[in-house]
Amino acid sequence: MVLFRIAPDWQLPERAATSEAAYVNRRQFLRVIGAAGLTIAAGPLSSCRAKATDTSTLEASLDLPQVRRVSPNPEFADLDRPLTDRLLAGQYNNYYEFGGTKSIWAKAQTLPTDPWTLTVGGLVKNPATYDRDDLMQKFPLEERLYRFRCVEAWSMALPWLGFPMRLLLEAAEPLPEAQYVRFTSYYQADITPGPGVFSSFYPWPYTEALRLDEMANELAFFAVGLYGRLLPKQHGAPIRAVIPWKYGFKGAKSIVGIEFTAEKPATFWNTVQANEYAFESNVDPKVPHPRWSQSQERFISTGPDLSWEMRPTLPYNGYESYVAGLYA
């Protein structure tokens, strides 16, 4: 007797899988890192060297099932810059639960994402729990190309796949007294050891928060995929927040809880160092970080030379027309 494994409904069957040529010139990229290791030129602030010693493992961490029935949102189909190569994005991450460096992609593979439960609660009419299939099926999925800007002044351009936060907000129906939403990331001390010896000083679990009018903005997004495939663990599988007009740390990874509150919630980086990581943290070239300027960004290019490309920081990361009204 032959047992057939039924692919989940959201998964694109392997035989129908499309080429990745639309996203990257993968062959060329592999040739470069295969020959010389991958060196990212040092920016003015910090010297950074990311070496891909095991490209096959890195690729395996990204070669996840393709997601089907994803509509490209035409409003976010073009950017003023090329997309970042997925092999570069997939090995240069911030995910403090797995370490304090950029090279956590291998460590993050121990994150258990199946099964997954996301709990929506707090001041809402409709508390809910979502499992992995719900995350892929409950809301119509779309693809959006967004600029991505870290508070550390590096940036990327990434093709997220997911759904606007507004849809989950409407499903939850917050009560009138709800003013904020808090996102809580996965945390299990034995699985997410944190950044070395100082780990126990951090206010785990990682949390972030938005005002409800920010959550309702057209741009605020939950990503469940990247480059046409399921979201890789190093990028915050199975669901993470993407708020493209704010610094990257506002986008909590691997979300297990969404809670609606009346008071402004305490958040992870703001608790660690409030003067460096403001609650609002909108991308602004004119407001320097206490330790560096934010007037320019180091756009992580798609190679083949793999060096940073310096670009002027755009107010609200280029999304002023969508969000400036929130802060008038």
Q: Which residues of this protein are in contact with Mo ion, per CB under 5 A?
A: 94, 150-151, 248-249
Min separation Cβ 305 and ligand MTE, Å = 21
When asked if residue 87 is in the footprint of ligand MTE (CB under 6 A), the reply is no
In the bound state with ligand MTE, the residue whose beta carbon lies nearer, of 254 and 301, is: 254
Closest by CA to 32, choosing from 295, 306, 244, 223, is 306
In the bound state with ligand MTE, the residue whose beta carbon lies nearer, of 181 and 252, is: 252
**Pairwise CA distance, residues 9 & 172, whole Å:** 24
In the bound state with ligand MTE, the residue whose beta carbon lies nearer, of 187 and 322, is: 187
In the bound state with Mo ion, the residue whose beta carbon lies nearer, of 151 and 209, is: 151
Closest by CA to 32, choosing from 88, 102, 90, is 88
Closest by CA to 205, choosing from 320, 96, 104, 80, is 96
Binding mask 104-143 for ligand MTE (x = CB under 6 A): ----------------------------------------
Region 235-274 residues binding ligand MTE, contact defined as CB under 6 A: 235-236, 248-249, 251-254
Name the pairing type of β-strands 141-149 and 229-230.
Answer: unpaired
Binding mask 203-232 for ligand MTE (x = CB under 6 A): ---x--------------------------
Min separation Cβ 250 and Mo ion, Å = 9
Q: What is the 3-state secondary structure (H, E, C) of 123-155?
A: CECCCEEECHHHHHHCCCEEEEEEEEECCCCEE
To the nearest 10 degrees (0 to 180), the angle between helices 26-36 and 55-62 is: 150
**CB-neighbour burial class of residue 129 (10 A; exposed 0-12, middle 13-18, buried 19+):** exposed
The encoded tokens of residue 41 equal: 């030129």
Q: Of Mo ion, ligand MTE, none, which one sits near residue 96, judging by CB under 5 to 8 A according to partner kind? A: ligand MTE
In the bound state with ligand MTE, the residue whose beta carbon lies nearer, of 29 and 204, is: 204
**Pairwise CA distance, residues 95 & 109, whole Å:** 12
The encoded tokens of residue 120 equal: 């929506």
Min separation Cβ 312 and ligand MTE, Å = 19
In the bound state with Mo ion, the residue whose beta carbon lies nearer, of 124 and 151, is: 151
- Which residue from 29, 76, 96, 222 is in contact with ligand MTE, where contact means CB under 6 A? 96
Q: Could you tell me which stretch among 37-45, 48-56, 95-103, 113-121 binds ligand MTE (CB under 6 A)?
A: 95-103
The encoded tokens of residue 212 equal: 């409800």
Using CB under 6 A, list all residues that contact ligand MTE.
93-97, 150, 185, 206, 235-236, 248-249, 251-254
